[in-house]
Chains A and B, each alone.
Chain A
Amino acid sequence: MQGFLSFLIWLPIAAGIVVLVLGDRHIGAGRWIALVASIVTLLISLPLLAHFNSGTPDFQFVENLPWIARFHANYALGVDGISLPLVVLTAFITIPVIVAAWTVIEARPAQYFAAFLIMEGLMIGVFSSTDALLFYFFWEAMLIPMFLIIGIWGGPRRVYATIKFFLYTFLGSVFMLVALIYMYVKAGDYSIASFQALPLTLVEQRWIFIAFFLAFAVKVPMWPVHTWLPDAHVEAPTGGSVILAAIMLKMGGYGFLRFNLPITPDASRQLDLIIIALSLIAVVYIGFVALVQQDMKKLIAYSSIAHMGFVTLGAFIVYQIVRSTGGLQGAGMGLDGAMVQMISHGLVSGALFLCVGVLYDRMHSRQIADYGGVINTMPIFAAFMVLFALANTGLPGTSGFVGEFLVILASFKASFWYSLLAATTLILGAAYTLWLVKRVVFGPVGNSKVAALTDLNGREFGVLAVLAVAVLLVGIWPAPLLKIMQPTIHHLVDQAVASKIPL
């Protein structure tokens, strides 16, 4: 299995460069190269799942080559129970994105496919780096294709949205870099493991925590630094929205699990209430904001923020559980929930954005008011849309249920009031999602344009069907996923509650 991770990173990037060089004139070949490359990437990622040893929290399929000797930075890759599901999710989601864009993108298609392939490689690089400098390298490099994707193929206010996106995330990341360099100066190398082992005083931990928090909170995004997301989502092309929601937001959550909890456990314990408060605000307040949206994409964007609130809540509730129960019993449940929620949200929000994309390609409008009674002309589409909407509300049997349920259960262990506020999502989420479905899908045919709609073609059907299967699979049978994560989460809980303050 040696070298598989490198393959996963560099194959899409190489294919992307080939597509770019072939250019728009050979786009026929370019499309197929993009599709084959993304499918091969997924196929290479599957043996990793099969051969993954779920009995150990250690990094597996490790690769380690010297990269920059002067900084003691290595080209070090490896996956554990947290990163493997995200790597596979990335490889999986890219395929629908490429298929969905097959003939829809008319302007500069070669660059479009190339940008997404390069992005896929860079995102897998983020999840599989075990060296902090390499992690940062991929983390920042990813901004470039996304900046171009929103800026070139986006909607009317794309320039404003993409610059806002870039500057927000850049601002957050720069301070993370500063923190990484600080720890490098103390630890002597850039490996994440030695950062996790590095003893740090509470003051140091607090500053490092804040630097990481800035970077990851912007990415998640948490209230009140979420304002870039609705703009970026609304203006991005369908594929851009899918990747943003399904993968890029997960990087924030992943960062909290990989950096904040194990590297600054004492500061996390001290500052956890801030994160919990911000998460609950995201769940409750953003839920209300989503309710009043007129634009379908904006509504789903706000719903993403609310759902990601569950991820951060689940990640940091562990300290409250330890405080109120006095033991580690069930402390990992919140983290389990956060991880499942990330995977589930990746599938569900990706699927919902694809659904909006299907409608947008036909009607060129994202306004809810322009629709109504779509079910009359597009019954198959309506079935998918309703399924994904229900998954978004957390209906049992869909993937959305597992994550939310685990997090609410964990927060109940910590305090009744947390779980009460978190559980409002069951009402609010249902309200904004179902109301959206009611206004768009059901009812009498809204206008003559809706009456002229045609149902899904084979390509669109295939894309949505695959996602639907995945959503139901994770919902009905989450055990394999939980099993992969289990040892890593256990280890993470141990790291998160152990003090790192030097005596």
Chain B
Amino acid sequence: MPETTMTWQSITPAIPEIYLVGAICLLLLVDAFAGQTRRGLTPTLTLIALAVGAALTVMYGKVPQQTILFDGMYVADELAYVLKLFGFLFVAFGLLYSRDYLEERGILRGEYYVLVLTALLGIFVLVSANSMLTVYIGVELLALSVYAMAAFDRDSGIAAESAMKYFVLGAIGSGALLYGMSMIYGMTGTLDLQEIAGRLHEPPNLGVTIGLVFIVVAVAFKLGAVPFHMWLPDVYQGAPTSVTLFIGTAPKIAYFALTLRLLAHGLGGTVVEWSQMLGALAVLTLVVGNVVAIVQTNLKRMLAYSTISNVGFIVLGFTAGTPDGYTAALYYTLIYILVALGSFGVILIASRKGFEADHLDHYKGMYKRDPLLALAMMMLMFSTAGVPPFVGFWAKLRIFQALWETNHVWLVIISAGMSVVGAFYYLRVIKLMYFDAPPAEYPPPQHSAGVRAALGINALAVLVLGVAPGPLLDLCARLIH
């Protein structure tokens, strides 16, 4: 029975969201009054706000067992708690990498940081959603913030174009989601995900199936699975790199949660249907992502296709349709974000005022100009290629294992083959950095020691988690089961 009276006890698990709303309002005000002279204030304050938020989350957000709040709209459980902490962490790292880049391009404005925080709020809402309404609010809050971020460099034509594309195609995705939800609501008579789960049974009737198709399409849109991936390469390439970094990292947590809460839990009664749909999507995604990435010459675009292929692996985890598969997908998502964070961080650090280091040729001889940056990038590339001792290997292994346990033989073989195809273009980046002579005209990247240290920690995490993968694997398994 949902609670009807609001007490302090009944809202403490939602402290992260409530705090974030307050912090956003405060930051907007501070930024408005700080003016042009103290522009550096907002970025620093944002980082502090994130740290405080993480601390508050640790104090209040942890619940002993699953708690349903706000009339069944909101769920607080350990999964949401841990994912929110990861959200704080990933966003903080992303902002750290982005600051100099934004300053050099004259787009270091308070609004950027506010938009990042509203997007983070959207992520949190999605992660804790227990009702289709909450899901939709979260999706839109996140998406609208990110559309605005993509267009943030208003003088750049290509950024505006990519934002427009993102907005139009994203709106189609949201529309599909809403339509699918309305069908499910019509068939079950409730918006509450847990009640939906109780009312759906195999085999689903026609209405539910139609609703399901639309929801799967929407999820594929948001994740960037083929054939609903068209927005992704253009947005990744066109948006300012700091925005690309953001799009490529923290929101993936939210879309993982979206898939888990909506499909795996809410619509868990139709697992046979949607896991077949996801299986087909995953195969297409793996093939298109990996094969098309080979011919790219722009690093951001190449990483976009690499994202698509990684999304294929995440979708494969869901295809298994078992808690073990969801665990694998969660692990893969977290690892993917860790590596993407570092890879886009390298692009940000290698860029300078008036120079975007987004072409593959810009990385020629990187070893000579900046050995540390090259080493970090090499570790990240080997990790995404799935070569031990780096952590990407375990992520792939986990997916293979979940698929074997559910007897998806062909999916294992296809994904294993595709990971070899994928290795080629990651190796090419390493080849450019280490085997080619550096061209004379690019000066060495200059960045503060703090940013470099952050990147170092990021790359080291990829190695340490690769040598001792046990704790994170256990954590993921505990969160799902």
The residues of A with any CB-CB pair to B shorter than 8 Å are 67-71, 136-137, 140-141, 143-144, 147-148, 151-152, 158-159, 162-163, 166-167, 170-171, 174-175, 177-178, 181-182, 184-185
The contact sample of 11 A-B pairs, CB cut-off 8 A, is A70-B474, A144-B387, A148-B434, A151-B434, A151-B435, A152-B434, A170-B423, A174-B417, A175-B413, A181-B412, A185-B401
B97 at the interface (CB under 8 A from A): no
Report the nearest B residue to A73, measured CB to CB: B470
From A69, A152, A181, A184, contact of B435 by CB (8 A): A152
B405 at the interface (CB under 8 A from A): yes
| List of A residues within 8 angstroms of B416 by Cβ | 174-175, 177-178
B60 at the interface (CB under 8 A from A): no
A342: min CB distance to chain B, Å? 25
A144 with B423, Cβ < 8 A, contacts A151-B431, A163-B431, A174-B417 known: no
In the bound assembly, the distance between CA atoms of A136 and B382 in angstroms comes to 16
For chain B, residues 402 to 420, give those with C-beta under 8 angstroms from any C-beta of chain A.
404-405, 412-413, 416-417, 419-420
Determine whether the beta carbon of B427 is less than 8 Å from that of A166: yes
Report the nearest A residue to B387, measured CB to CB: A140
A196: min CB distance to chain B, Å? 20
For chain B, residues 422 to 481, give those with C-beta under 8 angstroms from any C-beta of chain A.
423-424, 427-428, 430-431, 434-435, 469-470, 473-474, 477
B388 at the interface (CB under 8 A from A): yes
A67 with B470, Cβ < 8 A, contacts A159-B435, A163-B427, A163-B431 known: yes
Determine whether the beta carbon of B420 is less than 8 Å from that of A181: no
In the bound assembly, the distance between CA atoms of A166 and B469 in angstroms comes to 24
Determine whether the beta carbon of B431 is less than 8 Å from that of A181: no
In the bound assembly, the distance between CA atoms of A174 and B404 in angstroms comes to 14
| List of B residues within 8 angstroms of A68 by Cβ | 469-470, 473
B397 at the interface (CB under 8 A from A): yes
Determine whether the beta carbon of B401 is less than 8 Å from that of A184: yes
| List of B residues within 8 angstroms of A171 by Cβ | 417, 420
From A67, A147, A159, A170, contact of B420 by CB (8 A): A170
| List of A residues within 8 angstroms of B424 by Cβ | 163, 167
In the bound assembly, the distance between CA atoms of A151 and B378 in angstroms comes to 14
B40 at the interface (CB under 8 A from A): no
- SS class of chain A's interface: helix, strand, loop or mixed? helix
A439: min CB distance to chain B, Å? 33
Determine whether the beta carbon of B387 is less than 8 Å from that of A185: no
B389 at the interface (CB under 8 A from A): yes
A236: min CB distance to chain B, Å? 13
In the bound assembly, the distance between CA atoms of A159 and B431 in angstroms comes to 7
In the bound assembly, the distance between CA atoms of A177 and B424 in angstroms comes to 19
Determine whether the beta carbon of A137 is less than 8 Å from that of B417: no
A69 with B434, Cβ < 8 A, contacts A140-B393, A178-B400, A185-B404 known: no
B436: min CB distance to chain A, Å? 8
| List of B residues within 8 angstroms of A177 by Cβ | 397, 400, 416
In the bound assembly, the distance between CA atoms of A136 and B401 in angstroms comes to 15
Determine whether the beta carbon of A166 is less than 8 Å from that of B423: yes
In the bound assembly, the distance between CA atoms of A151 and B434 in angstroms comes to 8
A262: min CB distance to chain B, Å? 22
Determine whether the beta carbon of A141 is less than 8 Å from that of B388: yes
Count of A-B contacts judged by CB separation below 8 Å? 77
Report the nearest B residue to A185, measured CB to CB: B404
| List of B residues within 8 angstroms of A185 by Cβ | 401, 404-405
Report the nearest B residue to A166, measured CB to CB: B427
| List of B residues within 8 angstroms of A175 by Cβ | 413, 416
Contact with A along B384-399 (1 / 0, CB 8 A): 0001110001000100
Counting chain A CB atoms within 10 Å of each CB, which of B412, B434, B435, B477 scores highest?
B435
Report the nearest B residue to A136, measured CB to CB: B388
From B393, B420, B474, contact of A69 by CB (8 A): B474
Report the nearest B residue to A134, measured CB to CB: B388
Counting chain A CB atoms within 10 Å of each CB, which of B393, B397, B469 scores highest?
B397
Report the nearest B residue to A186, measured CB to CB: B404
Determine whether the beta carbon of A70 is less than 8 Å from that of B473: yes
In the bound assembly, the distance between CA atoms of A71 and B398 in angstroms comes to 10
Determine whether the beta carbon of A167 is less than 8 Å from that of B393: no
| List of B residues within 8 angstroms of A181 by Cβ | 397, 400-401, 404, 412
| List of A residues within 8 angstroms of B435 by Cβ | 151-152, 158-159, 162
| List of B residues within 8 angstroms of A144 by Cβ | 382, 387
For chain B, residues 69 to 110, give those with C-beta under 8 angstroms from any C-beta of chain A.
none
| List of A residues within 8 angstroms of B388 by Cβ | 136-137, 140-141
Counting chain B CB atoms within 10 Å of each CB, which of A151, A159, A174, A175 scores highest?
A174
| List of A residues within 8 angstroms of B474 by Cβ | 69-70
The 9 closest A-B pairs by CB, nearest first: A151-B435, A174-B416, A137-B388, A171-B420, A68-B470, A140-B388, A70-B473, A141-B388, A141-B389
A373: min CB distance to chain B, Å? 37
Report the nearest A residue to B400, measured CB to CB: A181
Report the nearest A residue to B396, measured CB to CB: A177
A206: min CB distance to chain B, Å? 14
In the bound assembly, the distance between CA atoms of A178 and B413 in angstroms comes to 8
| List of B residues within 8 angstroms of A70 by Cβ | 470, 473-474, 477
A276: min CB distance to chain B, Å? 27
In the bound assembly, the distance between CA atoms of A158 and B437 in angstroms comes to 13
Determine whether the beta carbon of A147 is less than 8 Å from that of B400: no
Report the nearest A residue to B418, measured CB to CB: A174
B286: min CB distance to chain A, Å? 13
Report the nearest B residue to A168, measured CB to CB: B420
| List of A residues within 8 angstroms of B423 by Cβ | 166-167, 170
B370: min CB distance to chain A, Å? 14
Counting chain B CB atoms within 10 Å of each CB, which of A69, A166, A175 scores highest?
A166
In the bound assembly, the distance between CA atoms of A184 and B423 in angstroms comes to 25
| List of B residues within 8 angstroms of A140 by Cβ | 387-388, 393
Counting chain B CB atoms within 10 Å of each CB, which of A137, A144, A159, A184 scores highest?
A144
| List of B residues within 8 angstroms of A69 by Cβ | 470, 474
B365: min CB distance to chain A, Å? 12
| List of A residues within 8 angstroms of B393 by Cβ | 137, 140
Determine whether the beta carbon of B389 is less than 8 Å from that of A137: yes
Contact with A along B113-156 (1 / 0, CB 8 A): 00000000000000000000000000000000000000000000
| List of B residues within 8 angstroms of A159 by Cβ | 431, 435
| List of A residues within 8 angstroms of B401 by Cβ | 71, 181, 184-185
Determine whether the beta carbon of A147 is less than 8 Å from that of B389: no
| List of A residues within 8 angstroms of B404 by Cβ | 178, 181-182, 185
Report the nearest A residue to B469, measured CB to CB: A68
In the bound assembly, the distance between CA atoms of A175 and B416 in angstroms comes to 7
In the bound assembly, the distance between CA atoms of A182 and B412 in angstroms comes to 10
In the bound assembly, the distance between CA atoms of A162 and B423 in angstroms comes to 13
In the bound assembly, the distance between CA atoms of A401 and B416 in angstroms comes to 42
In the bound assembly, the distance between CA atoms of A125 and B397 in angstroms comes to 20
A167 with B420, Cβ < 8 A, contacts A70-B474, A143-B387 known: yes
In the bound assembly, the distance between CA atoms of A174 and B422 in angstroms comes to 12
Counting chain B CB atoms within 10 Å of each CB, which of A152, A167, A175, A181 scores highest?
A181
| List of A residues within 8 angstroms of B430 by Cβ | 147
| List of B residues within 8 angstroms of A170 by Cβ | 387, 420, 423
In the bound assembly, the distance between CA atoms of A148 and B379 in angstroms comes to 13
Counting chain A CB atoms within 10 Å of each CB, which of B388, B393, B469 scores highest?
B388
Given contacts A140-B388, A148-B434, A163-B431, 14 further A-B contacts (CB under 8 A): A68-B473, A69-B470, A69-B474, A70-B477, A137-B393, A140-B387, A141-B388, A151-B431, A159-B431, A163-B428, A166-B423, A174-B416, A178-B404, A178-B416
In the bound assembly, the distance between CA atoms of A140 and B387 in angstroms comes to 6
In the bound assembly, the distance between CA atoms of A32 and B243 in angstroms comes to 48
In the bound assembly, the distance between CA atoms of A229 and B430 in angstroms comes to 21
In the bound assembly, the distance between CA atoms of A305 and B470 in angstroms comes to 40
Determine whether the beta carbon of A147 is less than 8 Å from that of B427: yes
In the bound assembly, the distance between CA atoms of A468 and B469 in angstroms comes to 45
Determine whether the beta carbon of A174 is less than 8 Å from that of B419: yes
A23: min CB distance to chain B, Å? 9
